[in-house]
Chains A and B, each alone.
Chain A
Amino acid sequence: MPHEKLIPLAEAVRRYARDGQQYASGAALPVGSDAVVFGRELLRQKRRDLHAIFHCNTQQLNLLAAAGAVTRAECGFSGLEGFGFANGLRRAVESGTLALEDYSNLAMALRLLGGALNWPFVPATVNVGSDLEYRSGFAPDASPATAKIPRVTDPFSGREIGAFSPLRPELAAIHVTLADPLGNAIMLGTEWSRFELSRAAQKVVLVADAIVDTDCMRQYPNLVRIPDVVVEAVVYCPFAAWPQGSPGMYDVDEEHMKAMNKALATEEGTAAYLRDYVHSYGDDVDGYLDLIGRDTVARLTQGPSAFLLDPFRKWIVPHDEVLALLDEHEKEAA
């Protein structure tokens, strides 16, 4: 089986993540899909001064912000939905150590679409007329802000409208349910804006809950919304979104979601969280699953949406075989 793009998580961060870069997460809102594990690895490798492009906050941004690794962020939503406010992000914003530029959820998707299509700007029919237009976290002195969503004239109606700036993040770590080793991906559940992001980002790393044989993609080519041609690397990591959920794969870990957010509310709690859940495990996938706890892994896998995975199960490459492919890759690299 070819393994062209399959690399370990630590290597993906070493290769593609840089201090100060525009880093985007490919997620489905705060409690769903997101490569939270990629954020843990960014901290393990001490990446800092990140400019985070998060369509929505997730526990990943909450953690990165709490740890002081983010200086600028652009978001459409900055909470944790049913789990309340994102305490780590909140602390960083309130203390002024992180400048947050607010948009809406549609605005972020449109800005990524603009980047994907290489448009000079995207017409804005939302966000205008509110403080999302008039106030800027990146240019706080401008009042009202005029450079965030500047006004342009619609050449057809002659009416004044807003213009969104397109986004082209330097790196995107996109969480997907299934990927093959070539970089084709299937997402179960809402895509949110992962389609647009996969085309807007300059470099895309997929972080997949499971690796499947390419025959799976040949069976369901319509479902492959991220094709290999836009992907640099594929990382295999079961429970990559933990403690968030991944439809078809695993449920939200409610207990850890709450405990994590509580910890990130203080400096001391964050230090303890980093010690226990970021710097505590080895570089291997099994070490990460041990950290979550094998009982928890088994329990969360029995979710109400598990049936969504049924059509794809026969192509899933067994855990040990994927690890063997990764070993093979490391030997070749050495």
Chain B
Amino acid sequence: MSLDYTRQEMMAIATGREIRDGELAIFGVGLSMLAGYFAQAHHAPKVRAMTEGGIYGASPIGGLPWGIECNRISANATSFTSALDALGCLVASGRCDVGIVGAAQVDRFGNVNTTGIWDEGGEIGPRYRPPKTRLTGAGGANDIACGARRYIVMVTHEPKRFAERVSYVTSPGHLDGGDARARHGFVGGGPSAIVTTLGILRPHPETKEFRLDAWFPFSSVDEIRAHTGWDLAVSPDAHVVPEPSAAELAALRRVDVTGALRKQA
């Protein structure tokens, strides 16, 4: 049976499958929130979800929230606290199991850039200079990248977004690879997966270089390699991801009531 779903929906479901029941989880706005609340609606009913503003116990009402403090995520909360509490006491402390972050650009070690795009080949040069295109900055993603036990990067799979080396490391992945994170004493373990519109990449256990772990029913190894800006290695046990089940799609669409993920193919 072939189900009708979009690449964005597959990405959200594949991300949601990374979330396990009972975990303490932090979601950002947009796709990341849909993926997280999909997991809660489908296979992780006891996930303990919070936003970086310290909204606990809530789920979206009336559509995808415009922001993580929007009324759509404030109508059924059981606790409102603060950024210091959520990002500090619960993430920087090392208590948070899993976070989901978005990326404008990601590199072979899972470092994330959400700060800007620079001209002249993307190199900033020795002197810091304004980007050609200024993006949104770090938000809480840097804090999640440093503090969460693991985190998942969600990103549209396009060559320009998959760089050998990001122009600006906004949120640290595995930095230069290997045990580079250890030099900075981060309490968190770094990115465990990059989930894209075409497949899933995971880090090599030692080198921490991201390799192709799985492709989606509608994509292929060749297509993914062609859309990646570095020479992407393929894991020996690379496989196809099962397509969304009817129950998964139904759960996702209950969360995504405004169809944000169906508008973009």
Using an 8 Å CB-CB cutoff, how does the interface string of A114-143 with B read, 1 for contact, 0 for none?
Answer: 000000000001111111100111001101
**B207 at interface by CB-CB < 8 Å:** no
Assess whether B142 is in contact with A191, with CB atoms less than 8 Å apart.
no
**A83 at interface by CB-CB < 8 Å:** yes
A95–B131 Cα distance when bound, in Å, is 9
A70 to chain B, nearest CB (A): 14
**A47 at interface by CB-CB < 8 Å:** no
Other-chain contact of A105, B52, B70, B81, B115 (Cβ < 8 Å)? B52
What is the interface of chain A, defined by CB distance below 8 A to chain B? 28-33, 55-57, 75-79, 81-83, 85-86, 89-90, 93-96, 100, 102-110, 113, 125-132, 135-137, 140-141, 143, 145, 159, 161, 188-196, 245, 247, 251-252, 254, 257, 303-305, 307-308
Q: A76-B137, A126-B146, A161-B185 are in contact. List 18 more A-B contacts (CB 8 A).
A: A28-B69, A31-B66, A32-B53, A56-B139, A77-B140, A79-B139, A82-B65, A85-B136, A89-B134, A105-B143, A110-B88, A125-B147, A126-B143, A128-B146, A129-B175, A145-B128, A190-B55, A195-B82
Assess whether A29 is in contact with B136, with CB atoms less than 8 Å apart.
no
- Looking across the interface, which residue of chain A has its beta carbon closest to that of B56? A190
A254–B147 Cα distance when bound, in Å, is 33
A33 to chain B, nearest CB (A): 7
Chosen A-B contacts, 19 in total, with CB atoms closer than 8 Å, are: A31-B66, A32-B70, A76-B138, A93-B134, A104-B142, A125-B92, A125-B187, A126-B146, A129-B175, A137-B128, A141-B128, A145-B128, A190-B54, A191-B82, A192-B54, A192-B83, A193-B82, A195-B84, A254-B66
A88–B70 Cα distance when bound, in Å, is 22
A105–B80 Cα distance when bound, in Å, is 17
**B46 at interface by CB-CB < 8 Å:** no
- Looking across the interface, which residue of chain B has its beta carbon closest to that of A55? B83
Assess whether A131 is in contact with B168, with CB atoms less than 8 Å apart.
yes
What is the interface of chain B, defined by CB distance below 8 A to chain A? 29-30, 51-55, 61-62, 64-72, 74-75, 80-84, 87-88, 91-92, 111, 115, 124, 126-143, 145-147, 168-172, 175, 181, 183-187
Q: How many residue pairs between the two chains, A and B, have CB atoms under 8 Å in the bound complex?
A: 217
A302 to chain B, nearest CB (A): 11
A32-B69, A78-B137 are known contacts. Are A190 and B127 too (CB-CB below 8 A)? no
Which residues does chain A contribute within 8 Å of B134, judged by CB atoms? 78, 85, 89-90, 93-94, 100
Assess whether B84 is in contact with A106, with CB atoms less than 8 Å apart.
yes
Which residues does chain A contribute within 8 Å of B186, judged by CB atoms? 125, 129
A81-B66, A102-B138 are known contacts. Are A109 and B74 too (CB-CB below 8 A)? no
Assess whether A304 is in contact with B67, with CB atoms less than 8 Å apart.
no
Other-chain contact of B67, A30, A107, A141 (Cβ < 8 Å)? A30
Other-chain contact of B84, A102, A110, A307 (Cβ < 8 Å)? A110
Task: List the 6 shortest-distance A-B pairs measured between CB atoms, nearest first.
Answer: A79-B136, A31-B67, A32-B69, A190-B53, A82-B66, A129-B184
Which residues does chain A contribute within 8 Å of B139, judged by CB atoms? 56, 76-77, 79, 104-105
- Looking across the interface, which residue of chain B has its beta carbon closest to that of A58? B67
Assess whether B115 is in contact with A125, with CB atoms less than 8 Å apart.
no
Which residues does chain B contribute within 8 Å of A90, judged by CB atoms? 133-134
Other-chain contact of B127, A33, A81, A128, A141 (Cβ < 8 Å)? A141
B126 to chain A, nearest CB (A): 5
A126–B99 Cα distance when bound, in Å, is 15
Which residues does chain A contribute within 8 Å of B68, judged by CB atoms? 29, 81
A310 to chain B, nearest CB (A): 13
Assess whether A82 is in contact with B64, with CB atoms less than 8 Å apart.
yes
Assess whether A104 is in contact with B74, with CB atoms less than 8 Å apart.
no
A100 to chain B, nearest CB (A): 8
